[in-house]
Every structure is written in C-alpha cells, then in structure tokens.
C-alpha cells in the first residue's frame, strides 16, 4: 500500500498523469454505464500551414493544404463549447497555431470564458505581445523542440539553423514573463525520440533546465496514418536511450522535472500483441473533441483529415449540434480498435474504463 500511495503522490504535479479522468468521478461513472457525456477538452487546429517540416510529423500530409479556420467560426465554436461545459481548449496542429493571423484575438476571446488554455508550438513565431497573453491566461505552453542543437533542428525540423536559437530565446522570454507576472503557467520542452536525434537528448535536457522550464518531456515517435516515420525497434537505439535516461534523471530537481512517458516506451514493444490493448471500444473520444483546420469535427485527433471519420463541419452546422447528432454515434460504432493508431490520447482512458467495466472480483467487499 505504501508503494502504491508513494507512486500516486509522485503524480500530483505530473501534467502527463495517465489517469486524469479519475478527477472526474461523475463523468467516469457515466462512461462505465455507457451514458452520453460532453467533451472535457477541445482540440482546435487553427491552420494546416506550418513554418517547419518535421521529418516525423504525424500530420505532414495536411501541410500541402492552406486550410485555415475563420476567426468567426472559431468564436462560434467557443460559444458552443462554453454552453457544453468544456473545461479546456488546446491550440495545436495540424499546422503551427501561431501562423494564424488572428491568433491573439482568438485566444483573448477564449480567455473571456475562463477556459483553461494550452498551446503546442514550435515557438519560432512568438512575439512579446503574445508571450504576455500566454503568461497571464494560459495553463500550459509546450514547445516542440526535439533537439539540443541548431544542426539537429535544421535536420529534423527541416528549417533554418537560426530557428533553434529563436526557439530557446522565446522559451526564456516566456519563463521570464511567468516570473514577472507571478502566474502558474506550466512551460515544457518536448522531445520526440527516434534514431535521428537520440544523441541530442542530454544536451537538450541541460538547455531546458538552464532556460528555467518546468519540465522536459520524452516520448517515442508513434505515428498515425499517412506517415512513414516510426520509432525504431533496433536494440542499439533502445540501449542508447536507456543510457541517456539514466544520466538525464540525475538532472531533475524540485524546480525541473523529467517527464518520460514510460507507458509509451513499454507499449511500443508490444506491437505483436495489439500494443497491449485489450479493450474493444473507444471511450476517450467522447472526452476529447477535435476540430481540423478545414472545419471538420473529427472522431479524434488521430483521424484528422480523413473523411470516413468526420462527424460534420462547423462551417455548415453548429458544433453543439454535430456533437449531439446521430452521425457521431454511427461513426463511433464503425471503430475497429485493432486498426486504430496505437498509444493515442484516448488509450489510457480506454484501458481504465474497460478495466472498471470488466472487474468483478468480489468488488462489493472493499
């Protein structure tokens, strides 16, 4: 019991805790009973245009389009989301959110509803005005850096060598703004691992720590459809990663956390066992709404841009009507878990709900 409690207590400040759904017992109870629920988080892709061309980008196939949401449509969605009780908005890609010309106006509009807001960005296009707004209004900003050097950034993000210095400088500016305005925004340095950047892991950790971010996050490349890049199964890569992690963990302290998504590294080894998935239904897609830059409300973020999994379009219908419509239920019934991308955002939610539904070992005797 002590070991269990210690493990739980260690998760109290972990933004990547696998079972956040436990903090919503009423929602979890409805899911176990197969009752309808509204999303807790809404992910919005403002544009498919991106200033980087990351070699492993899950959504690289979308970048050939110039799809961009109109600010009026986004505001209408936010109006509906507020009525539906959505708790948080994630601005992500698709493309790079900061490319959108009305980004500042949109996030200011969202702030009036007191949504928790988060931003996933490569950080190059930040300016002082947006940095101040982020520091004052956002719950988190996660910088997709994936390197610890200009050379690695140029090679992996297929961009200018100068961009690495711009990113680090903007990270430092946001960290300074957090201190200046005395806010609780959580600032992170994200590092997707594959064989092309494994040698930058330790350097990146030191740079992140020196920049005063709250954490550095490591996870393997796990791609969805229409992308050839995937995490290497070569044993030499695994050994190098484990060696790096043993050194990186020593750099953690009270102000700087090392966030290694251990479950993803474990599950990726189970490719021949359906990645350890024993559930046959997706529950998490009810909690995680996703809107693409073309206006499509998609079943989940793993299916962006795929017509088969579109529930409707906010340019033609209200978001609240799409969510409550019959088509969403019909599309959900078409899901074949074995064909779903592995280790998606809903994976751990699905594992937990499935476990609770199946558990029957004298559960009445606490």
In a domain, 3, yes or no: no
CA separation for the pair 81, 89 (Å, rounded): 9
- Does residue 30 form part of some domain? no
Q: Are strands 296-298 and 288-291 parallel, antiparallel or unpaired?
A: antiparallel
pLDDT of 342 reads 75
Q: Is residue 281 part of a domain?
A: yes
In a domain, 279, yes or no: yes
Number of domains in the chain: 1
Treating both helix axes as pointing N-terminal to C-terminal, what angle do 103-111 and 128-137 enclose, rounded to 10 degrees?
Answer: 20
SS3 state at 119: strand
Question: What is the side-by-side strand order in the sheet with 288-291?
Answer: 257-260, 215-220, 186-193, 140-144, 116-121, 88-92, 41-45, 288-291, 296-298, 310-313
Select from 30, 29, 28, 96 the least CA-distant residue to 59.
96
Residue 339 token pair = 């064909």
What is the distance between the alpha carbons of residues 23 and 19, in angstroms, rounded to a whole number?
Answer: 8
Question: So what's the pLDDT on residue 8?
Answer: 56
Q: Residue 134 contacts by C-beta under 8 Å, 6 or more apart in sequence?
A: 107, 119, 126, 141, 174, 177, 185
Residue 20 within any structural domain of the chain: no
Q: What is the pLDDT of residue 13?
A: 66
Q: Do 240 and 312 contact (CB within 8 A), yes or no?
A: no
DSSP class of residue 341?
Answer: P
- Please tell me the predicted confidence (pLDDT) of residue 364: 72
pTM of the shown model: 0.90
Per-residue model confidence (pLDDT) at position 4: 41
Q: What is the end-to-end Cα distance of the chain in Å, rounded?
A: 14
**All residues at 6 or more sequence positions from 189 whose CB lies less than 8 Å from its CB, including other chains:** 142, 143, 145, 171, 204, 207, 208, 211, 213, 215, 216, 217
- pLDDT < 70 positions in the chain: 1-13, 223-235, 267-273, 362
Residue 85: what pLDDT?
97
User: Domain containing 242 — which CATH number?
Assistant: 3.20.20.70
Domain-located, residue 22: no
Residue 12 forms part of a structural domain: no
Show the domain range for 345.
37-358
- Give the pLDDT score at 2: 44
DSSP string of 22-81, one letter each residue? GG-HHHHHHHHTT-----SEEEEE-BS--S---TT-TTGGGTTS--B--HHHHHHHHHHH
SS3 362: coil
Task: Identify whether 70 is part of a domain.
Answer: yes
């Amino acid at each position: 019991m002590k070991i269990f409690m210690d493990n739980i207590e260690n998760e109290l400040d972990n933004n990547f805790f696998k079972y956040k759904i436990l903090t919503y017992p009423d929602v979890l109870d409805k899911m176990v009973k197969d009752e309808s629920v509204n999303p807790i988080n809404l992910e919005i892709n403002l544009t498919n245009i991106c200033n980087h061309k990351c070699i492993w980008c899950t959504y690289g196939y979308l970048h050939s389009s110039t799809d961009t949401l109109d600010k009026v449509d986004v505001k209408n969605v936010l109006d509906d989301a507020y009525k539906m009780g959505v708790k948080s908005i994630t601005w992500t890609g698709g493309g790079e959110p900061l490319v959108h010309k009305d980004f500042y106006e949109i996030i200011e509009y969202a702030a009036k509803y007191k949504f928790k807001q988060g931003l996933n960005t490569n950080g190059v296009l930040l300016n002082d005005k947006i940095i101040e707004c982020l520091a004052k209004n956002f719950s988190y900003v996660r910088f997709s850096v994936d390197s610890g050097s200009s050379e690695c950034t140029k090679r992996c993000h297929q961009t200018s060598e100068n961009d690495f210095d711009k990113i680090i400088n903007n990270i430092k500016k946001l960290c300074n703004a957090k201190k200046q305005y005395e806010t609780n925004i959580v600032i992170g340095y994200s590092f997707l691992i594959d064989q092309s950047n494994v040698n930058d892991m330790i350097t990146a950790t030191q740079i992140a720590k020196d920049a005063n971010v709250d954490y550095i996050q490591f996870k393997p490349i796990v791609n969805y459809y229409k992308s050839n890049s995937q995490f290497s199964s070569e044993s030499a890569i695994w050994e190098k990663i484990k060696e790096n992690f043993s050194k990186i963990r020593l750099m953690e302290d009270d102000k700087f956390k090392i966030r290694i998504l251990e479950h993803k590294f474990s599950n990726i080894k189970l490719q021949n066992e359906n990645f350890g998935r024993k559930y046959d239904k997706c529950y998490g897609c009810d909690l995680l709404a996703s809107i693409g830059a073309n206006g499509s409300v998609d079943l989940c973020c793993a299916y962006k841009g795929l017509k088969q999994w579109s529930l409707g379009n906010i340019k033609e219908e209200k978001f609240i009507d799409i969510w409550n419509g019959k088509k969403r239920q019909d599309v959900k019934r078409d899901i074949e878990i074995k064909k779903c991308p592995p280790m998606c955002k809903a994976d751990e939610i699905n594992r937990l709900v499935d476990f609770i539904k199946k558990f029957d070992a004298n559960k009445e005797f606490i």
